[in-house]
Amino acid sequence: MNLQNHKSLKSETAMLALNGLGKTFVGSVQPVVQDVAFSVEPGEIFALIGPSGCGKSTTLRMIAGFETPDNGTIVLEGRDITKAEPERRNIGIVFQDYALFPHLTVLDNVAFAIRDTEKKMRRKKAIKYLDMVGLTGYGDRYPDQLSGGQQQRVALARTFAATPKLILLDEPFSNLDAALRHSTRREIRELLKANGVGAIFVTHDQEEALSFADRVAVMRRGKIEQVGAPEEVYAQPKSAFVARFLGRTNLVPGEAEGLEAITALGRVPLSEPAQGSVLLSMRPEHLVLENGPDSNAVIQARDFKGHDITYWVKVGSAEYQVDTEFLCPFRPGSKVRVVPRAPAVVVESDICAVDTDV
């Protein structure tokens, strides 16, 4: 079954279109990228997410021109750039380590990217780009005098200064601590949107992809498993892999009968009709705990987090995770019912085994 969302792959208005992109490295049997296809609209932020080795960074490098595809095409604004030199693609790149020149001031780092302009005007333009990223007055400093978040904004200002059609970001927030990562992520998203610049970024962090991107593509073993809006891919995963990679989930076997399935939790509603043996994805926050005469579950553990509580609940031989509000009163040892508050999603049909590769 082809798990790609073909509706998301082609668009008459696409700024960037990848079709059938593939790459196999010398000495390798398996291709690192296989038949990758997606499009990016003008001003859209598009995330490539997947585990290490899934091919997302190689895909980014092929778009940038640092790797040459074995097959497939890369089209930017109607121009085939598959074999174009990197400097002729008009694509900006923000590297994971920011790649700032340590011997140049912040202002000169940004001015370096401005071409076809005399030196005096380059510096004036560079000041405007520093203002744009909130670094007014930092032009005379050197990169090692800045925090990680400030260095990242300098790298972004330098990229904007080259007026690219598209910006590529490779694990852009991985070098920042958790608190700075959240604020910087928000600031950079606002900058991209305010300037109408499209971006593709690579990450293995599902929270980062879901909160930062307009659309996400989940990659696995060189292929794209699913493309869609963050809410769509999270709520309606097309496979067990996507369900698990984009957050915590309970994978529950059952027997589907139309819009319901018989499971260890009882009859549960389905998001789409199905028949026969199925594997269901049920997010922990889509389940609630209740008292009742037919309680068939026992709470094994409780993890209080302040704003919510995570429970591990045993039903028969299986254990399920349930995330509830902070006021939920149940304690380990309590007998409860696990009740779905949203329809379950079928991620496998006619199951005989569950693929555990994440």
pTM above 0.95, yes or no: no
Contacts of 335 (CB under 8 A, 6+ apart): 295, 296, 297, 298
Q: Give the model's pLDDT for residue 342.
A: 94
In tens, the pLDDT along 238-249 reads 999 999 999 999
The position carrying tokens 């038949």 is 35
* Alpha-carbon gap, residue 64 to 110, rounded angstroms: 20
Q: Give the model's pLDDT for residue 8.
A: 40
**Residue 344 has what DSSP assignment?**
B
Q: Give the model's pLDDT for residue 195.
A: 84
Q: Give the model's pLDDT for residue 351.
A: 57
Q: Give the model's pLDDT for residue 235.
A: 94
Q: Give the model's pLDDT for residue 64.
A: 94
Neighbours of 210 (CB within 10 A): 18
Q: Give the model's pLDDT for residue 259.
A: 96
Residues in the chain, pLDDT under 70: 1-12, 351-358
- For residue 81, the SS3 value is coil
Q: Give the model's pLDDT for residue 198.
A: 92
* Alpha-carbon gap, residue 12 to 113, rounded angstroms: 31
H helices of the chain, where? Answer: 56-64, 106-111, 119-132, 148-161, 178-195, 206-212, 230-235, 240-245
Q: Give the model's pLDDT for residue 4.
A: 43
Q: Give the model's pLDDT for residue 7.
A: 40
